[in-house]
Amino acid sequence: MDNLTQIEAVIRKVFKDDSLIIDAQTSADDIDGWDSLTHLQIITEIEKHFSVKFTLSELLDVNTVGDIDRIIQQKFA
Amino acid sequence: MIERSEMNKELTLGQQFLASADKFPEHDALVMEEATYSYKTLKNTVRKWYNVLRDSNCRDHRIGVYFTNDLDSYAALLAISVYGGSFVPLNPDYPASRLHSICKEAGIKVVLNVTDNDFGCQELNADASTVDSIEMPPVVIQPGSYVMFTSGTTGGPKGVEINHEHINSFFDFVMRSGKWDFDENDRVLQAFELSFDMSIFSLFLPLISGGCSVVVPLNKIRFVEIAKALSKNNITVVILVPTVLNFLLPYVDELDLTSVRFSFFAGDKLLHSTCTKWAEQLPNAEIVNMYGPTETTIASTYYPWNPIQSAKDAQNDIVPIGLPFNGVEYLIDEEELCMRGSQVISAYLNEANEEKFLNTDRGRFYRTGDLVAKLENGNLIFKGRKDHQIKLNGYRIELNELNAFIGARIKGTFYLHPDNH
């Protein structure tokens, strides 16, 4: 399973909505209820899922789901 | 710094901004993402909006401004104040029905900085051709400075008009009581929507001192935008709701906050444990907890946080709200905090909600609805709410307003209560 599919599963779990379609361009603006609290929950769940830790500068670079994918790939490179 | 002796206490916030602009024309006034606007630039933009009001021969006491969090929003708001009007920020995120209700309640006929509005007001907009070089004397002379709307208990928002005396008393205490020293070199974080009265603090504290207001974009992920603003703008004054601090704490050790001199919190319960972590990253800052409903003008009590004394004063980890500002007095009626004085309103718009006031031999007090206790050292501590009001990111939400709204639209029995999650 590629990273993006796994990230989609994590975001669906946070929103408790299995119908969410997530791609690399998806951002908080595309999903109702994606606010500061859910953003932190998503990052925390992704950190647990991939066993990584985002730094503040990485967090500040996240505008889309594709950015999350890119940061994870960099951590495993 | 503009000395108080140089000012007339009846000056509007906008006119005090003009005094700063004349004294510090090249200083940074506003930072918005990558753009920085000097006092000279901001004043020219204010003049554009002032001329729109003058050319339309507007004589209204209250004027709406639709805020889109850009230079024009801020300049239009300042222009209303320079013109002598009472500005009423209108939040684009509100539904048209709520904006219509706010405009009706405040008697607003004219709104700046909006096109094709669906809440029934006349629109005034500006373009470059309306700029000229005249001075900007007040045209409308009236006591109101601004109007904020808070959640009401009967299904509609409650209008609170803060007049010049209220707001000048607030800034008198904050800037000239000797508690804190602000000057033209301060850079203040502005992380609030203009419909939240804390924004008046973080916008005008710098603009009437010659300092700079660093405006955080109104993005859905607000704490990330706040972290970005904190990481690159040499902020010296942080003003936040404690809730935001909880989001920042996991990353706070990566922020360089050595430039911060003051950190003010208001709008919700502040925890001692949170302050302890925050203080580790702000070696040069004083942390202050402030408290005050909109009706008492932004904040009306203060408590300087201290790692040792606050550990003793805190109850259930909650930091006290402290002592009243000069000019504010209080009484405690069956645990409820009631306040009066130079910062406290004596009526809502249209004389609504009379039950929120308590008439005594000492005068007319505003009932805050907040339950407090007094510590042995005189500091007040928040104990809870008397009614069904909750706080969401510092905003007051009356569950009864939601109950009334839903009840008017859905048949059946239901009831929202703070204990129902």
- On the question of pLDDT at B415 being above 60, the answer is no
Q: For residues B380 and B322, give the distance between their C-alpha atoms in angstroms, rounded to a whole number.
A: 5
Q: For residues B208 and B17, give the distance between their C-alpha atoms in angstroms, rounded to a whole number.
A: 5
Contact residues of B toward A, CB < 8 A? 219-224, 227-228, 231, 244, 247, 250-251, 254-255
In a domain, B231, yes or no: no
pLDDT class of B403 with cuts at 50, 70, 90: low
Instruction: Find chain B residues with C-beta within 8 A of A43's C-beta.
Output: none
pLDDT for the residue B4: 47
- On the question of pLDDT at B352 being above 90, the answer is no
CB atoms within 10 A of CB B414: 9
How many Å lie between the alpha carbon of B320 and the closest alpha carbon of chain A?
A: 26
Q: What is the pLDDT of residues A7-66, one digit of tens each?
A: 999 999 999 999 999 999 999 999 998 988 899 899 999 999 999 999 999 999 999 999
**B218 secondary structure, DSSP code:** -
Q: B218, B240, B269: which is the final residue of a domain?
A: B218
pLDDT for the residue B5: 43
pLDDT for the residue B131: 62
In a domain, B248, yes or no: no
pLDDT for the residue B391: 64
Contact between A39 and B221 using a beta-carbon 8 Å cutoff: yes
**What secondary structure, in 3-state letters, does A11-25 show?**
HHHHHCCCCCCCCCC
Q: What is the pLDDT of residues B136-187, one digit of tens each?
A: 999 999 999 999 998 765 567 889 999 999 999 999 999 999 999 999 999 9
Q: Which domain holds residue B398?
A: 388-421
pLDDT for the residue B154: 59
- For chain B, the average pLDDT equals 89
Q: B218, B235, B250: which is the final residue of a domain?
A: B218
With a pLDDT cut of 70, the percent of chain B lying above it is 87
Q: Which of B254, B255, B252 is nearest to B244 (CA)?
A: B252
The helix-helix angle for B198-207 and B164-176 (nearest 10°) equals: 60
In a domain, B335, yes or no: no
**What secondary structure, in 3-state letters, does B332-356 show?**
EECCEEEEEECCCCCCCHHHCCHHH
pLDDT for the residue B421: 43
Pairing of strands B357-360, B363-374: antiparallel
Q: Which domain holds residue A26?
A: 3-76
Q: For B244, which residue in chain A has the nearest alpha carbon?
A: A36
pLDDT for the residue B33: 86
Q: Domains in chain A: how many in total?
A: 1
Q: For tokens 């002796």, what's the residue?
A: B5
How many Å lie between the alpha carbon of A2 and the closest alpha carbon of chain B?
A: 26
In a domain, B359, yes or no: no
- On the question of pLDDT at B114 being above 60, the answer is yes
- Choose, out of B193, B216, B219, B220, the residue to mutate when testing the contact with A (most A CBs < 10 Å): B220
Q: Domains in chain B: how many in total?
A: 2
**Residue A4 buriedness (CB in 10 A; 0-12 / 13-18 / 19+):** middle
**For residue B412, which phi and psi values (nearest 5 degrees)?**
120, 180
Q: B194, B218, B242: which is the final residue of a domain?
A: B218
Q: For tokens 């207001």, what's the residue?
A: B213
Q: The dihedral of CA B310, B311, B312, B315: what is its sign?
A: positive
- On the question of pLDDT at B405 being above 90, the answer is no
Instruction: Find chain B residues with C-beta within 8 A of A58's C-beta.
Output: none
Q: For residues A31 and A13, give the distance between their C-alpha atoms in angstroms, rounded to a whole number.
A: 14
Q: Which of B67, B22, B63, B65 is nearest to B42 (CA)?
A: B22
Nearest CB neighbour to B222, from listed A36, A55, A56: A36
Question: What CATH number corresponds to the domain at position A61?
Answer: 1.10.1200.10
Strand partners, B187: B212
Q: For residues B202 and B215, give the distance between their C-alpha atoms in angstroms, rounded to a whole number.
A: 9
Q: Structure pTM?
A: 0.89
Contact between B223 and A36 using a beta-carbon 8 Å cutoff: yes
